[in-house]
A and B are shown apart, each in its own frame.
Chain A
């Protein structure tokens, strides 16, 4: 009887709730930012990429760094859902859906932002008509679409058992979506056979998503590493990108945990223990990323080959130095220092450290893309002055910020429609604990 009451209470706690005033304001701001980004993109479509600050030397700008950021952050889905599951980590259960919706939303916006960067988005179909397997862009198209499908399934299959709770819910916070729930999940009847197939499918997906996740970010790093340019011509790039990706994704999970916990009052489900454990993971990943950074910068800096020298001095002491040291400090050093202490692993400081990791990571991607392009092998010459520098135009900012807002909007809507913490799995764990 008591058990039944606990179950009912849990279901009630975890079902989606109506947004309060804060939630409405948050959603409104995101919609405005996304709409403004869409407007800026309309201008870009009309006038061409001339509305950006990119020119013939800096031919890739914040669209590309934003793309790398999205791909990076999406890797966390595979870490929390797949890696943890395979190594039998159970404490992460309440975090799996958060990680997976971050993954799906980020990978969708990675695809959108790469289309935004194209000079001829109207010819996207050429990738299918004339695609050549030797180009790393085609590899990216293949692995990203594969990753998107696997991530979507990894979000969907564990959601199926929760749909019956949504359909049976007595409160009406989600009543208007009942038709949608029925369409995607009314066939789920908790039959042993269904559970068996679903578990099996999830296991297969968890195994396959790991190499695919490694592929998406390795291939993304190869967009740079397959060129000759100083700062990109590195065999360290794949591992460097992967480690950075797991770090920023975990940072994002820390942030999302805190936000959902306070907004939905989930203190019982996302506990201080979760923050403690997730923080330790962030420290580990930050140390790992720092290790690859040292490899990436120290080895060429030791030799100071001429083309590398111009690039590295610009980062260490030149025009990009403030941003570079900000990215190193905010993205790695300070979060490590905060999270090494027990007090730092409490929800609020962990949240702050998570925000720093994510913001630092965004600028880090910018520093990977742009400064290299300002140091070509032949000196920059015979071009107007504005070709020699790069600072994103307002349209680029509007589109980049709009895409980030759009990704958050997808996560926000998802949390409004679906339980952000898996109900069924939480119940099973409660039963196991009770028994």
Chain B
């Protein structure tokens, strides 16, 4: 996982924040006093939010990189993170089809751009209604149809609400793809393209890499990041704060720069879930595309680029 972790770190500037979260759990009295007395203060201060909600200033030199955490075993990955119930809120009024979420996700998971785990749909519900951009991830349903039909328990639901795939167990029957009403699952029809070094690594359910030929893949809510206290890649990659991620039990979600009380957000902005009538109980909530930050047309350029790219390929 070394290579993968590094690539993630390059990709994600959030490493430092994550390190702090890890330190915050430490029992020593002052977590910002360096263990190693040789570290000298640089004089450059960084503003941080402490775990009790106060803004504190810490010398940059005292920040520690997050420790290397080996991925949890696939048996542990099946259980989920105790006490958590993860939830995502997607604010449609902020999306302009930039697809930074998609490219970040594809990059980290080595997903081919023909088989995006995150899709941004141009939606128009009826002839006279307004069009809008709708990003979709896996819905991580509480009544997941995919898990119901899987014959070998390769796709499973965890206590923290996340639905994952064990690619070492998947037999490739694709029943889950037929069962999923959100068309969120993709199949590795051929050997996935990735560096050989990565392909040789053991599969981790929490990072969903390396993807394996003949098995199903999908959005995993990045539980490896979440375990480290970081946000899923799509959330931190979106410059418009479309995605917010959090814990239902704490009733809070954040897009990285803003933090919301989940219940308040859903109440005030009339949040809803996709295809509620099917009874799948998704963990992804949508905020309707009202008072938009961008006109729908602003996303069209991206769409045309994509289409011409597809035509070339």
**Residues of A in contact with B (beta carbons under 8 Å apart):** 47-50, 52, 54-57, 59-60, 117-121, 123-124, 126-127, 129-132, 134-138, 141, 223-224, 226-229, 373, 376-385, 387
Contacts and interface: CB of A to CB of B under 8 A. Distances in A.
Nearest to A57: B183
Given A48-B214, A59-B177, 6 more contacts: A119-B215, A126-B154, A130-B153, A136-B175, A228-B179, A377-B181
Contact of A48 (B119, B181, B191): B191
A393 B154 CA distance: 29
B170 interface: yes
Contacts of B120: 382
Given A131-B151, A137-B149, A382-B306, A119 B171 contact: yes
B214 A56 contact: no
B187 interface: yes
A126 B189 contact: no
A135 B187 contact: no
A149 B172 CA distance: 26
Most buried by A among B173, B182, B190, B275: B173
Contact of A56 (B136, B152, B153, B177): B177
B51 to A, nearest CB: 39
B178 A60 contact: yes
B121 A379 contact: yes
B189 A381 contact: no
B148 interface: yes
A117 B172 CA distance: 8
B177 A377 contact: no
B122 A381 contact: yes
B215 A377 contact: no
Contacts of A54: 189
B53 to A, nearest CB: 39
Interface residues of B, number: 47
Interface of B: 114-116, 119-123, 136, 145, 148-154, 169-175, 177-179, 181-183, 185-191, 213-216, 275, 278, 306, 310-311, 313
B181 A124 contact: no
Contact of A49 (B148, B189, B310): B189
A227 B145 contact: yes
Contacts of B171: 118-121, 123-124, 126-127
A271 B182 CA distance: 56
Contact of B136 (A117, A132, A378): A378
Given A119-B214, A382-B119, A377 B183 contact: yes
A135 B151 contact: yes
Given A119-B173, A135-B149, A228-B278, A49 B183 contact: no
A362 to B, nearest CB: 21
A44 to B, nearest CB: 10
Given A130-B169, A384-B313, A120 B214 contact: yes
Nearest to A129: B152
Nearest to B279: A228
Given A119-B174, A229-B178, A377-B182, A50 B150 contact: no
A226 B188 CA distance: 24
A373 B180 CA distance: 11
B92 to A, nearest CB: 14
30 contacts: A48-B188, A49-B172, A49-B189, A50-B189, A55-B189, A56-B115, A56-B187, A60-B178, A118-B172, A119-B171, A123-B152, A123-B169, A126-B154, A127-B171, A131-B151, A135-B149, A135-B150, A135-B152, A226-B148, A227-B178, A227-B181, A377-B275, A378-B182, A379-B123, A381-B119, A381-B122, A382-B119, A382-B120, A382-B306, A385-B311
